[in-house]
């Protein structure tokens, strides 16, 4: 693994752990936080759907999974933008 990629992984781990450490009760009431969580979940679902395409025997099913994941990701992005505007 090259140094730049390792630094990105380390930074990612730090940011995630920092976010988990300081997530508090106030955040539960914040619609932006929920929109971010929805977007992270949508991104995870998209990554999973893409990885499933390499294991599938039926190419139509994974393609539909990817399309559905992309659609949810777009909805999550729109919800985040709406939350920011409020």
Class of residue 16 by CB neighbours under 10 A (exposed 0-12, middle 13-18, buried 19+):
exposed
Give me the tens of pLDDT residue by residue for the chain, a chain 86 residues long. Answer: 688 888 998 898 888 888 888 888 778 889 999 999 999 999 999 999 888 887 766 666 778 888 999 999 999 999 999 999 98
- Which of 67, 36, 37, 38 is closest to 50 using CA atoms? 67
Alpha carbons 40 and 74: distance in angstroms, whole number: 12
Is residue 56 within 8 Å of 62, Cβ to Cβ? yes
């Amino acid at each position: 693994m090259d140094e730049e990629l390792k630094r990105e992984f380390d930074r990612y781990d730090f940011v995630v752990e920092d976010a988990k450490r300081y997530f508090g009760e106030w955040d539960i009431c914040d619609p932006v936080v929920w929109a971010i969580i929805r977007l992270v979940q949508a991104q995870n679902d998209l990554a999973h759907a893409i990885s499933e395409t390499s294991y599938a025997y039926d190419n139509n099913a994974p393609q539909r999974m990817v399309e559905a994941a992309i659609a949810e990701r777009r909805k999550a992005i729109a919800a985040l933008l709406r939350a920011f505007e409020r």
